[in-house]
Amino acid sequence: MAKPLVQMALDSLDFDQTVALATTVAPHVDILEIGTPCIKYNGIKLLETLRAKFPNNKILVDLKTMDAGFYEAEPFYKAGADIVTVLGTADIGTIKGVIDVANKYGKKAQIDLINVADKAARTREVAKLGAHIIGVHTGLDQQAAGQTPFADLGLVSGLNLGVDISVAGGVKATTAKQVVDAGATIVVAGAAIYGAADPAAAAAEISAAAKGSQSSGGLFGWLKNLFS
């Protein structure tokens, strides 16, 4: 089974701070996510900047599109996004629009299940449409109210649809392995990295935990990673 990918959510509003944090964290993660407040505040220029600076990372733009799927997502794929998100609560035509435009550019569409009432039904429906990634997501406001993504992850992964599953919502080093064991193929962390005293070390620790390596440092860790 392929190793899970690790994604870092860049949730600051500040352009320069976002680029600086991405520079620190990029070597330790697979995907850089431009979070929703960040992309709304800074616009496509930030995507263009990150695309040019980080050719080895995938970039997800968390548009959380709610209408006009094809039209809204297309410029971001054109500017180099690998993954764009659309809300699972949107009209099915909107979701289809983002999947279609992702396919047009050979990229991926992620359907975010945040606030979807019947998550099993919507997941089956969008998987049939060709959704590339299902986003199991407990938002920041929901986390503040004490919610976690674990029950939803069990539900979606239990459907066995063969679609990639991304999990976001307060994931940290101590829970990264748990979400992978529960079926996540993409592990997302925001606050656990940008809120850490040493974001690079936090990203490396989460990656090691998610990918099943105990140590990311030292000769033993290096050899283990080389042959795993």
Ligand X SMILES: O=C(CO)[C@H](O)[C@H](O)COP(=O)(O)O
Residues that bind ligand X (CB under 6 A): 9, 11, 35-36, 62, 139-140, 143, 168-171, 188-192
Name the minimum Å distance from CB 114 to ligand X: 7
The pair of three-digit structure tokens given for residue 31, joined into one six-digit string: 């995907």
Name the minimum Å distance from CB 227 to ligand X: 31
Name the minimum Å distance from CB 157 to ligand X: 18
Name the minimum Å distance from CB 40 to ligand X: 12
Residue 127 vs 191, nearer CB to ligand X: 191
The residue with its CB nearest to ligand X is 190
Name the minimum Å distance from CB 186 to ligand X: 12
Q: Which helix (H) or strand (E) holds 8?
A: strand 5-10
Q: Which residue has the tokens 């500040």?
A: 14
Name the minimum Å distance from CB 5 to ligand X: 14
Residue 20 vs 223, nearer CB to ligand X: 20
Residue 44 vs 191, nearer CB to ligand X: 191
CB 63 within 8 A of CB 40: no
- Helix/strand/coil for 81: coil
In eight-state DSSP terms, residue 168 is: E
CB 51 within 8 A of CB 59: yes
Residue 9 vs 99, nearer CB to ligand X: 9
Q: Residue 144 class from Cβ within 10 Å (0-12 exposed, 13-18 middle, 19+ buried)?
A: exposed
Beta bridge pairs of residue 187: 6, 167
Residue 115 vs 222, nearer CB to ligand X: 115
Residue 35 vs 69, nearer CB to ligand X: 35
Question: What distances in angstroms separate CA 191 from CA 12, 82, 126, 143, 214, one per listed residue?
Answer: 10, 22, 29, 11, 22
The packing angle between helices 44-53 and 15-25, to 10°, is 30
